[in-house]
Amino acid sequence: MGGVSARLEDLPLRPDLRGQEPYGAPQAPLPVALNVNENTHPVPQEVADDILDSIALALREVNRYPDREFTALREGFAEYLGHGLTRDQIWAANGSNEVLQHILQAFAGPGRRAFGFGPTYSMYPLLTRGTGAEWVEGVRGADFSVGAQDAASQVADAAPDVVFLCSPNNPTGTPMRLDVVEAVYEATDGIVIVDEAYHEFAPRDERSALTLLRGRERLVVSRTMSKAFAFAGARVGYLAADPVFIDALRLVRLPYHLSALTQAAATAALRHSPVMLGMVDEIVAQRDRISATVEALGYTAHESWSNFVLFGDVDEPAATWRALYDAGVLIRDVGIPRHLRVTAGTDDETTAFLDALASVGSAA
């Protein structure tokens, strides 16, 4: 077909989507990619073999629709999370973004609003606006933390229908204490989502918001297999909540939304959770190595309970990012003035980043 292609503005797009930008982290075939908080360690061979066997079995019945309730997978997640959870309290979808989308489809939408403390995960406002709801952004302290009293006050003033609490926070890595979760829950009649995508990288003795679920039917704790489980390419996210909350999500999910192959792969990976999580300690060690070294170079490394480090006092973030790119290292400019973010990689990847950063020159 010839002729000039139509422009986006020529289409009858929803007015609230006009002028919006889609999510997009830079993708480039560089030797060291440390920009999207992936687990850079491959799935161990013994786990990969079991996953392949499970997928092979699922293929024998791929002509049939999958288990709509993904029962075995929900049982696997409940066992993994512990805390007395049952499969009736578990939901899953194609990545945690779809999990969050289901929540917003059920509890947000036109005439409603969602709230989060900025800077935070960039998909929250995109998902919110995608359902036709309004996004309202609160503020964090200079160190990116949020205190219980301040958090409750901001939420009460905003009167949102859905609250996002990113714990630890992306893109800053900042911890969020459970007293903040409790205070926010009491300050609103809306849904409170505690996004624990990076929880496995927090100190082992730190309690999860899962411990707060009992008696709080509006509280949700979301997780992902993308990070600690090295499963980013498989796209599996999940949440825990009251069984009645799970029923609400059934109203908006597409039928058979989790393929039989996805269910088989994720269920197999969960059977090997100790092996899969064996990489976490190594990643945490690389994260702490990054923090110590960037500090020695004159930058400020913010406290991180995640698999990445946000570092500040970068005089020219764009120029520094470009110099690292030219050296074959891809990190992330998340839009926070004088800051850059880097994922903790393997030992070799971390060394490559630190050497490249040192060659750029210390912070002024």
In terms of domains, do 96 and 122 share one? yes
What is the DSSP code (8-state) at residue 15? G
Instruction: With cut-offs at 50, 70 and 90, classify the pLDDT of residue 196.
Output: very high
Question: Pick from 252, 271, 290: which residue ends a domain?
Answer: 271
Predicted pLDDT at 8? 85
Tens digits of residue pLDDT in 310-357? 999 999 999 999 999 999 999 999 999 999 999 999 999 999 999 999
Question: In this structure, is residue 256 part of a structural domain?
Answer: yes
Q: What average pLDDT does the structure give for the chain? A: 95
d(CA 142, CA 241): 32
In terms of domains, do 104 and 37 share one? no
Instruction: With cut-offs at 50, 70 and 90, classify the pLDDT of residue 2.
Output: low
Strands 32-33 and 191-195: unpaired
Predicted pLDDT at 29? 82
In terms of domains, do 222 and 76 share one? yes
Tens digits of residue pLDDT in 264-312? 999 999 999 999 888 999 999 999 999 999 999 999 999 999 999 999 9
Question: In this structure, is residue 51 part of a structural domain?
Answer: yes
Question: Pick from 271, 301, 332: which residue ends a domain?
Answer: 271
Mean predicted confidence (pLDDT) in 132-161:
98
In terms of domains, do 246 and 199 share one? yes
CATH number of the CATH domain containing 266: 3.40.640.10
The DSSP string of 30-99 is -SEE-SS----SPPPHHHHHHHHHHHHHHHTTTTSPP-TT-HHHHHHHHHHH-TT--GGGEEEESSHHHH
Instruction: With cut-offs at 50, 70 and 90, classify the pLDDT of residue 1.
Output: very low
325 Cβ neighbours under 8 A, 6+ residues apart: 28, 30
In terms of domains, do 109 and 119 share one? yes
Predicted pLDDT at 362? 57
Share of the chain above pLDDT 70, in %: 98
Question: In this structure, is residue 209 part of a structural domain?
Answer: yes
Mean predicted confidence (pLDDT) in 233-239:
97
In terms of domains, do 222 and 137 share one? yes
> Which candidate, 102, 122, 108, 91, places its Cα nearest to that of 163?
108
Say which range, 26-40, 236-250, 268-282, has the weakest mean pLDDT.
26-40
Question: In this structure, is residue 86 part of a structural domain?
Answer: yes
Enclosing domain of residue 215? 45-271
In terms of domains, do 213 and 302 share one? no
In terms of domains, do 158 and 294 share one? no
Question: In this structure, is residue 235 part of a structural domain?
Answer: yes
Instruction: With cut-offs at 50, 70 and 90, classify the pLDDT of residue 156.
Output: very high
Domains: count for the chain? 2
37 pLDDT more than 60: yes
Predicted pLDDT at 63? 97
The helix (run of H) or strand (run of E) holding residue 364 is: none
In terms of domains, do 225 and 207 share one? yes
Mean predicted confidence (pLDDT) in 194-211:
97
Tens digits of residue pLDDT in 57-116? 999 999 999 999 999 999 999 999 999 999 999 999 999 999 999 999 999 999 999 999
Question: Pick from 253, 271, 289: which residue ends a domain?
Answer: 271
CB 332 within 8 A of CB 171: yes
In terms of domains, do 250 and 300 share one? no
CATH number of the CATH domain containing 294: 3.90.1150.10
CB 262 within 8 A of CB 235: yes
